[in-house]
Amino acid sequence: WSLLRAAERQALTPIVEDALWSAVEDTTDSSKKKLYFESFASVALSPGALDRLLAIWRGTMVVEGLNLSENDSIDLASSLAIKLPDQADTITRTQLDRINNADRRRRFEFVIPALSSDQQTRDDFFASLADADNRSREPWVLHGLRALHHPLRTNDSEKYLLPSLELLQEIQQTGDIFFPARWLDASLANYHSAIAVDTVRNFLAQRPDYNAQLRLKILQAADQMFRAQRILANDQ
């Protein structure tokens, strides 16, 4: 996701999908099978692979030895909602109806706007995070941020980077001690464009007296972005 251009990723996707799915089918170790499946679900992009995942999520296809928990089903539905935007509303509504655990249900309800195929709905979700009350359930917020900043959405979500950085000092004051770093990781991890790099560098350059600890956290979270941008620029 980070070190390949879209065309390169699309060319390699069928090869990686086939290798991972073969591993899912061939291993008899249930722990390894689940790890291979999670990797397959993460990289799957081809219509055939997505159809397979959709069938497994629906329960119309059963993989022997693969046991998915309620959390696994939620994660799979979240990924499918992003990768199949035309079906996102149906997938999220169906998944919500399936959730038995009350806390997991509330968490998924919170995240559903971030999974929406509608850009305005996602914009409104991000804007709501400016209110500290809406950041009180930090794991829920991180789940939503990862959906907003999914690699397939970076062109649409790049505009969130600057306001995300602008919120960081408030987040440090109102949240858990580890939340600023996690907020940054969820926000910056999937970008490699020159615009994204410039956004981070300009933010810091324009604030020479910025909190030193937060500056280091930003640089740490952005390190992969900086490296990826240089690698891709040099490959042109």
The pLDDT value recorded for residue 2 is 84
The one-character DSSP state at 43 is: H
pLDDT digits (tens, 9 = 90+) for 149-201: 999 999 999 999 999 999 999 999 998 999 999 999 999 999 999 999 999 99
pLDDT surpasses 80 at 81: yes
- In whole angstroms, what is the distance from residue 60 CA to residue 139 CA? 31
Closest CA to 132 of 181, 80, 176, 187: 176
**What residue has token string 């909602």?**
81
**Residue carrying structure tokens 């829920």:** 140
pLDDT at 116 > cutoff 70:
yes
Stated pTM of the model: 0.93
* Predicted local confidence at residue 236, as pLDDT: 58
pLDDT of residue 16: 97
Give pLDDT, residue 5. 87
Cα 223 to Cα 12: distance, rounded to the nearest angstrom: 25
Q: Tens of pLDDT along 66-80?
A: 999 999 999 999 999
pLDDT digit string, tens, across residues 3-42: 888 899 999 999 999 999 999 999 999 999 999 999 999 9
